[in-house]
Amino acid sequence: MTGALVGYARTSTVEQQAGLEAQVAELEAIGCAKVFQEHVSSVDAQRPQLRAALDWVRDGDTFIVTRPDRLARSVTDLLKIVEDLKARNVTVRIMSMGVDTSTATGMLILQVLGAVSQWERNVMLERQRAGIAKAKAEGRYRGRAPTARVQTPEVLRLKAEGRTVAQIAEAVGISRASVYRAFAESSP
């Protein structure tokens, strides 16, 4: 008897709805009996649907994602998740890479490609830091635009309606800290 195919789909923001729908469609097309999905940054420590998916899988199941960056932020994180699942006799399949951890070759490919992916990210971050340092030295660096601050009027409108901080954060798509910041900055 083979286990169930369990999928996990994630996008970083609500604005990426089409990307999430495409991942879910791919996972359902290959026969996933259950697909967990969420809009949350992989940097965020709280990925409740990932936690639920990892808790859901059982001995003999196959846990499937479309791409490795949907599952983990770093090679270390990815390999930890894979090892935890492997210890529970759950196979991991990454569709974009053709990786299946039920084989020794699949594990090797995952580790090599994961290392290359981590290296690419580190090189990109080095270039980004160098570019920022150069822009600062030339007086051209302004930093990231304050995205949550432009939503202050909507935050205040929802507060006036009596919504809770959690409800406002969810409705506007910002963190609770940003909601509190909007309150503080709008106070006389």
pLDDT score of 120: 86
Distances from the Cα of 96 to the Cαs of 55, 60, 66, in angstroms?
24, 22, 6
Angle, alpha carbons 121-123-126 (nearest 5°): 110
- Written out in words, the top-level CATH class of the domain with range 5-116 is alpha beta
Q: Note the pLDDT tens digit of each residue in 100-117.
A: 999 999 989 888 877 887
Q: Quick one: CATH architecture of 149-186?
A: Orthogonal Bundle (1.10)
What pTM was estimated for this model as a whole? 0.61
The residue length of the chain stands at 188
**If you average pLDDT over residues 160-182, what whole number do you get?**
89
**If you average pLDDT over residues 126-141, what whole number do you get?**
92
How far apart are the C-alpha atoms of 168 and 180, rounded to whole Å?
Answer: 10
Tell me: pLDDT of 71 over 80: yes
Do 5-116 and 149-186 show the same overall fold? no
Residue 79 banded pLDDT, cuts 50, 70, 90: confident
pLDDT score of 26: 95
* Among the listed residues 59, 60, 85, 81, the one whose alpha carbon sits nearest the alpha carbon of residue 70: 81
Catalytic site positions: 12
pLDDT score of 137: 92
Tell me: pLDDT of 14 over 70: no
Residue 1 banded pLDDT, cuts 50, 70, 90: very low
Which residue ranges make up each domain of the chain?
5-116, 149-186
